[in-house]
Amino acid sequence: MDLMGFEIITKDGEARLGRLSTPHGVVETPSYVVVGTDAHVRCLEPADIPETKTQMIISNTYHLWRDLGEEGLATYPGLHAEMGWEGPIMTDSGGFQVFSMGYGREFGVGKVIPREAPKSMLSVGSPIEASERSRENLVRVTDSGVYFMEGGEEFYLDPELSMRIQEQLGADIIFAFDEPSSPLHDYAYTKKAMERTHAWALRSLEAKTSSQLIYGIVQGGLFEDLRLESARFINALPFDGFAIGGAFGSSFGSGKGDTFEALRWVTPLLPEGKPRHLLGIGKIEDLFAAVQLGIDTFDCVIPTREARHGSLWTAKGRFDVVRGRHQNDNSPLAEECGCSACAEGVRKADLYALFKAKDPQAGRFATIHNVYFFNDLMEQIRNAIREGRFLNFKNSYLSK
């Protein structure tokens, strides 16, 4: 295999055990990609990251662009040097901020319909009353590019600039600029956003001058015909890998419709020999179901964001260590956990006290634990695929 590329080692059903090679190392897949938005995994020092079994980090093009400015970008040493991280790095394109600062902000909705969503939210294309708007939309989308409003100033980002920024940041894997849609967008707008994504994919490829791997993004929201159209269009372009983004419905197992059906529509149309990334999804049940459908990598803020608020993940479920019942709880954070926080003997009562004292070590220990947990789970999934027992492992694990 070339220095940069992807190979499938074995399959168990549609679940794939693979190797994604980059100039900064090999990622064994399926794998979690840890979020380091501003070239920093929040609460962790560079020396902490290898202790968490992390293989790859993803940083945010939009926020780095706004923080650095043109002058800062021109002299930027690159993400690897900035982070003190020698492993593979991804950067998104800035496309997610088109949604999060725009329609998502305006209506207070995420890319996934929550399980407790009202019926109006579950009805795609239903009219949204002005009274339901929560905050100001800071985005103006045009066919040429996107205008973002921050601090009373307007900033313009388009595929060409996104490519230039990502090349200067120096990630191993970059993404084409896209317009994600909302679960609340109707068919007409979702189709328009998809068509922009396709046009911007062509412009991203044309603008790219580096040897970085580049992924195209499949959009189309909750509409099967649009997802199929997008998968066929993006697949026909010379991308090194593919990402599935945009609006999804409620999570796997929600009982309100398996709206990750989009993966079942899309993955059969993507080439077997190229990597597949699921953008911004990463709950435990979602990981298992998506791996079963042939997804190779995932990025999500769950491990880091929830850690900062005292929510810890274990094989028996998630718990909030900041609740009063843990004040005198001297049990370990998780049984048989191999993370360095647990190895150092940090107990629930210890972490409770650190959070109450607003000690920075609280976020550090919790983040180390959560990131290790998700990476270790992915390692267990890889071993199960290798040994041909993925479905048994999935069913056994989720039954806990």
Q: Give the helix/strand (H/E) hosting 199.
A: helix 187-207
Which residues form the catalytic set? 92, 299
Compute the distance between CA of residue 371 and CA of residue 312 in angstroms, rounded to an integer. 10
55 in Cβ contact with 75 (< 8 Å): no
* Cβ count near 156 (within 10 Å): 12
Compute the distance between CA of residue 367 and CA of residue 278 in angstroms, rounded to an integer. 22
Compute the distance between CA of residue 76 and CA of residue 82 in angstroms, rounded to an integer. 8
The label of the residue with tokens 């066919």 reads 143
CA-only gyration radius of the chain, Å = 21
Phi, psi of 141 (to 5 degrees): -95, 130
**Calculated CA dihedral for residues 11, 15, 19, 20, nearest 10 degrees:** 140
14 in Cβ contact with 293 (< 8 Å): yes
Determine the longest span between alpha carbons in the chain, in angstroms.
60
DSSP conformational letter for 99: I
Per-residue b or e along 70-103, where b marks 16 or more CB atoms closer than 10 Å to that residue's CB: eeebeebeebbebbebebbbbbbbbbbbbbbbbb
Compute the distance between CA of residue 287 and CA of residue 386 in angstroms, rounded to an integer. 17
